[in-house]
Structure 1
Amino acid sequence: MCGAADWAEVVPDGDYRPPSLGEAGFIHCSDFGTAHLPADALFRGRTDLVLLEIDPAKVGAPVRWEDGAPPHPAGIRFPHVYGPIPRAAVVGVHQFRETDGGGFRLPASLAHR
């Protein structure tokens, strides 16, 4: 997930390179079942988020399932991408907003997954 403006800056043949790639050496990602966890923890009140649906086969960089930082109390692991994500690897872009009751939920366009 990222801000819509950050995603809009990625040129058609370009790569998504968030600050975490330079700072931590990887891009923090989630699967469909865990995307709400970092959103709830880090992005409450943001109305500009988009959820990038990524095809791991098109990334071209190592994808490793690892503990979060800090590790999740339930032992949930998250995918980390160890390199930039090519725009061509993003197969869907979905608005990601908090529900009326608070907290993020998977967009209806992804709920069947």
Structure 2
Amino acid sequence: MTIYHLAEPRHWEAAVAAGSYTQSTRGRTLEEEGFIHCSSDAQWPVVRRSFYGDLAGPLLLLEIDEAGLAEPPVIEVGNPQTGETYPHLYAALPVDAVVRVTELPAPHGR
């Protein structure tokens, strides 16, 4: 199965150099948040609009093959009001598990 993560280019570039990605979400690291936020194919466009709408530069959509992860994602409620669940990674994301990187140009709020 494939899951998705939105990354700022500078964080992904650092991850490629280091071999693993540790940014949880905009402005927060795995260490600070406790996990890396991910989305399904249907969820990432909503996350893009909701959390990155004001970002002036491009974003990267990371497509993650779950088979490349040492630990499977944990599916948890991400929105208590709706009960909607999201995949979360409780370990650093190995760059080798990312099978495709797509640049998404701004604006992101549409």
TM-score, with structure 1 as normaliser? 0.76
**CA spacing shift, 1:24–1:99, aligned 2, 3 Å:** closer
Q: Larger % of helix: which?
A: 2
**CA spacing shift, 1:97–1:75, aligned 2, 3 Å:** farther
> CA RMSD, aligned part only?
2.1
**What does residue 29 of structure 1 align with?**
38
For 1:38 and 1:89, how far apart are their aligned partners in 2?
A: 21
Among all aligned residue pairs of Structure 1 and Structure 2, give the percentage whose two residues are the same amino acid. Answer: 32
Q: Larger % of strand: which?
A: 2
**What does residue 10 of structure 2 align with?**
5
SS in 1 for 2:12: helix
**Cα deviation code 1:14-43 (max 9, x no counterpart):** 100114311121100001110012211110
Select 1:85's aligned residue among 73, 90, 93. Answer: 93
For 1:12 and 1:38, how far apart are their aligned partners in 2?
A: 26
Gaps of 5+ in 1: 104-113
**Cα deviation code 1:44-84 (max 9, x no counterpart):** 1323210000011111124111111xx16443211001100
Which of structures 1 and 2 has the bigger CA Rg? 1
Contact 1:62 1:83 in 2 (8 A): no
**What does residue 16 of structure 1 align with?**
21
Gaps of 5+ in 2: 1-5
